[in-house]
Amino acid sequence: MSEQHGAEDAVQAEWPLYEIFVRGKRGLNHVHVGSLHAADDEMALRHARDVYTRRNEGVSIWAVRANAIAASSPDEKDPLFAPAADKVYRHPTFYKIPDNVPHM
Amino acid sequence: MTATPEVSPGAEQDLLDHFEATISRNDRIEPRDWMPEKYRGTLVRQIAQHAHSEIIGMQPEGNWITRAPSLRRKAILLAKVQDEAGHGLYLYSACETLGVSRRQLTDRLINGTQKYSSIFNYPALSYADVGTIGWLVDGAAICNQVPLCRTSYGPYGRAMIRICKEESFHQRQGYELLMTMMSGTDEQRAMVAESVDRFWWPSLMMFGPPDDESPNTRQSMAWGIKRDTNDELRQKFVDMTVPQAEALGVTLPDPDLHWNEERGQYDFGQPDWAEFHAVVKGSGPCNAERIAHRRRADDEGAWVRAAATAFARRSQTSGQLGRPISGKESDR
């Protein structure tokens, strides 16, 4: 009886969340496609295969524990991205080159 | 789970302004953005209801997998029902980004505090229903879902894009099934007619109550969660479906269905909204059975989930799967 109860406690603690990345075909980056729960890494990959690649959507899968990902704030006002805005000289269009100069 | 920090009232107004500006630019809201609690609550309700519909929606057709008339039909139906499970999982994942857990969502489905589409409380009585569900029910779902690909909440829109890509197969296999039956015997044609008669009105109900009785629509549209009203989508569905019915050779059971030259759209009758409200409240033909089945599956799967958890705790994964992504030669 106490074992039964222990099993229920284990269920209450949900399987960890994994973020899933799929490489669509050779030559492309892995792209985030969604997330799922799994007890361990191997199960995460097996579930990801069934949930996200039922129609040949990929040739390779990465499964990453969600709590292992360090993330910046997605907020565009985030000062992290602010310094990029005033460095227009990093873009090729900043430089004026005469039209008669070829291949540039 | 939610990363929203505590804020003072003045700062909250700034956050709200920023949120509203993002919506009005037609940009997407992402999980870790600040959002009004009502926006979060509305999304949880809508996405959960949507996810639950996919999961409960496996039951009416799942019944027919073992009785499909050929191996071809069985393989198709199996793939379709598996897709519904997948769609439920995409949507549960999207919903979880709003700070609810999978366990909470399952519990709220089973204890009835969250709903699923009332269409799945109707039984699939004949094999023709597998075709009708694909054609009409999935057809109505597509009408609902295509505009949701542009919904303002990023994870929901991305889930809808995946779902819409797959849903087209569902509708086409259903229509093809009905075409096959219509070219068969008189009994088969009668089965199709009887099935379409039963599913037509419940399919129209899938778009929800009329606009003047839909309390959430206005706010949901202002926030970009919904993109069209219930009545607009219902009209679109009727306009799309009538020519399909004609091509199939079935009569839709609505004496008020006529082409309106002036509007360039079909006029049609109203479903029995008293029936709709009764089914939503729980007295449809299959409400109790659907939830009992879901509860049984949850209970009977408990030991499997516990065993997998215990196994994961005891052992480090090894073998073919789960290798580091940049394994050195010596790791192999």
Q: Complex ipTM, two decimals?
A: 0.86
CB contact under 8 A, A41 and B321: yes
> What is the per-residue pLDDT for B8?
75
Q: How confident is the model at residue A13 (pLDDT cuts 50, 70, 90)?
A: low
Q: What is the mean pLDDT of residues A56-62?
A: 94
Across the interface, of B93, B162, B303, the residue whose CB is closest to A36 is B93
- How far off is chain A from B214, nearest CA to CA, in Å? 32
Q: What is the mean pLDDT of residues B36-61?
A: 96
CB contact under 8 A, B166 and A12: no
Q: Is the pLDDT of residue B178 over 50?
A: yes
Per residue in B260-308, pLDDT tens? 999 999 999 999 999 999 999 999 999 999 999 999 999 999 999 999 9
Output the pTM of the full model.
0.89
Across the interface, of B89, B158, B317, the residue whose CB is closest to A41 is B317
CB contact under 8 A, A77 and B18: yes
Per residue in B10-38, pLDDT tens? 888 989 999 999 999 999 999 989 999 99
Q: How confident is the model at residue B235 (pLDDT cuts 50, 70, 90)?
A: very high
Q: What is the mean pLDDT of residues B191-217?
A: 94
Per residue in B97-138, pLDDT tens? 999 999 999 999 999 999 999 999 999 999 999 999 999 999
> What is the per-residue pLDDT for B284?
93
> What is the per-residue pLDDT for B325?
64
SS (H, E, C) chain B: CCCCCCCCHHHHHHHHHHHHHHHHCCCCECCCCCCCHHHHHHHHHHHHHHHHHHHHCHHHHHCCHHHCCCHHHHHHHHHHHHHHHHHHHHHHHHHHCCCCCHHHHHHHHHCCCCCCCHHHHCCCCCCHHHHHHHHHHHHHHHHHHHHHCCCCEHHHHHHHHHHHHHHHHHHHHHHHHHHHHHCCCHHHHHHHHHHHHHHHHHHHHCCCCCHHHCCCHHHHHHCCCCCCCHHHHHHHHHHHHHHHHHHHCCCCCCCCCEEECCCCEEECCCCCHHHHHHHHHHHCCCHHHHHHHHHHHHHHHHHHHHHHHHHHHHCCCCCCCCCCCCCCHHHC
